Amino acid sequence: MNVDDISKTIIGCAIEVHKRLGPGLLESAYQECLFYELRQAGLEVQKEKPMPIVYKEVKLDHGYRIDLLVEDKVVVELKTVDALNEIHTAQVLTYLKLGNYKLGLLLNFQVAMLKDGIKRLIN
């Protein structure tokens, strides 16, 4: 499955979660429900995947974690904020760079319609 197909499935599952739950919950609730939906869709999903920082020859584990990593290809970062900002984008781009992943989805569930809370990022 290529990253575009994976991305479409992720977005479809996220829309389903948002339609059923609506905005206003904690990020962890959306994460658990999206994890469930993605697994039901037959995708390999890792939750809270550790993301160490490697600086020169030093590996630093500072507790950074990818919310969801799908098919070991697509980083999914969930937010429940009034508006996405540059630091949220930078976070996903950093995960893409550190993990050598090609595609990231930044999903903000604190919106009336989820399509307004989706940002697709490419490394």
Number of domains in the chain: 1
Residues 6 or more apart from 90 whose CB is under 8 A from it? none
For 58, the domain range is: 3-122
Q: Give the per-residue pLDDT at 62.
A: 73
Sign of CA dihedral 2, 28, 121, 111: positive
Per-residue pLDDT of the chain (123 residues; tens, 9 = 90+): 899 999 999 999 999 999 999 999 999 999 999 999 999 999 999 999 998 888 888 888 777 899 999 999 999 999 999 999 999 999 999 999 989 999 999 999 999 999 999 999 999
Residues 6 or more apart from 79 whose CB is under 8 A from it? 27, 88, 106, 107, 108, 109, 110, 117
Q: Measured between alpha carbons, how far is 14 from 8 in angstroms, rounded to an integer?
A: 10
